[in-house]
Amino acid sequence: MANLGRKNDVETKDSKYVYFRCENGILECYVKEIELLDLPIAKACVQDRLEFIQSDSYPSMFDITKVKKSTKEARDFMANEGNEQVTASAILVTSPVLRMMANFYISVNKPKNPSRMFTDKREALEWLAQFKGSLCLLLLSFLSKTNLLFTCC
């Protein structure tokens, strides 16, 4: 998917659990209806995303409005290894249960990238726009994997 992010570039992929859409440097991930998001499903979602974006990193919106429940193992995985090549996460929710789940994920699982919950897709995409092409965030993402600390920007 190299060179995505230019105006009018749109690429999509439909997988078993997620529909992916990348436009103007932001990846949109629409999780399909899932009764229980467990570790094997979480790993499949991440693998499909990584295959779609190849070696690129993107600020990403995750629409989890159709997920009913998730396991602790799946949330832990998504907050750490599952966040590979994600420079920032906007989590889109609608129901009070999903809102509680997303707040729990952000506050307890502590994702390694900037993460925020939204109930409005437009607001989520506007927030993510600030992370497009951020060299500083890409460096932070890389260095966090190597356990190196530094001050940037």
Lowest mean pLDDT among 90-99, 106-115, 123-132: 106-115
pLDDT tens-digit readout, 57-107: 999 999 999 998 889 899 889 888 888 999 999 999 887 777 777 777 777
Confidence band of 127 (pLDDT split at 50, 70, 90): very high
Domains by residue range for the chain, with CATH? 10-145 (3.30.750.24)
Confidence band of 142 (pLDDT split at 50, 70, 90): low
Instruction: Find where tokens 């990403």 sit.
Output: 60
Half-sphere exposure in the Cβ direction for 56 (13 Å, CA):
18
DSSP state for residue 32 in the 8-state scheme: P
Residue 3: the pLDDT is 44
First to last CA, the chain: 28
Look at residue 53 and tell me whether its pLDDT is greater than 90. yes
Residue type, 126: E
